[in-house]
Chain A
Amino acid sequence: DGGITQSPKYLFRKEGQNVTLSCEQNLNHDAMYWYRQDPGQGLRLIYYSQIVNDFQKGDIAEGYSVSREKKESFPLTVTSAQKNPTAFYLCASRAAGIASGNTIYFGEGSWLTVV
């Protein structure tokens, strides 16, 4: 099946630890995104990447890092510098170019909890 796969679904992090959330897509999309969702806060953009080996900071990039070494993969690392990491994290992708339309497709999300 084509789609966006996020793993793990649930992750627990201890104070001071870095954790990495995986995002893989087989839609052959060029652009990929990471959003964070908190209750009552909507979806806030962390990082996005339009092409391999290039990415840009979103609105709340502090305490996060990403890489885009392959077109189909866009992992997100939540570092110890992120003081309030407990949230629902959503990966998304889009086919680039005006002719491809503007639809952004989301994965099923990953829950991160600090313990």
Chain B
Amino acid sequence: QQQVKQSPQSLIVQKGGISIINCAYENTAFDYFPWYQQFPGKGPALLIAIRPDVSEKKEGRFTISFNKSAKQFSLHIMDSQPGDSATYFCAASKGGGGSNYKLTFGKGTLLTVNP
């Protein structure tokens, strides 16, 4: 049972273009949706996160769009740069930081930005 489904598996974008990665979740109890960025051989690092009380959150060139009714959220990378080439993971959690708090991850999207 895959609780967070991520697509596409891989994405190639030209420099300056928009990269869009989508995720869908099943558990309506999820209340925190982060995106992580991972470079080869490194651990993932938090990029941006959103809670379901807002429909969009923007930080620099990175934007999360959230659709609660559709149980979907997406990451948009504007003006994509070669340095953005990495694997991106969406995730979801519930519990607000309680004793059983844990993140469930999507399978990841390998983004390549061509110069």
Contact = CB atoms under 8 A, between A and B. Distances in A.
Asked whether A and B interact, the reply is yes
Interface of A: 4, 31, 33, 35, 40-45, 48, 50, 56, 58, 90, 92, 94, 96-109
Contact of A108 (B43, B93, B97, B103): B43
B70 to A, nearest CB: 21
A98 B97 contact: yes
Interface residues of B, number: 27
B115 interface: no
Contact of B102 (A33, A42, A106): A33
Nearest to A38: B107
Given A40-B107, A42-B108, A50-B99, A102 B44 contact: no
A90 B43 contact: yes
Interface of B: 6, 9, 32, 34, 36, 41-46, 49, 89, 93, 96-108
Nearest to A105: B46
Contacts of A48: 102
A42 B89 contact: yes
Contacts of A90: 43-44
B68 to A, nearest CB: 18
A63 to B, nearest CB: 19
A40 B46 contact: no
Contact of B101 (A40, A42, A94, A107): A94
Contacts of B100: 50, 56
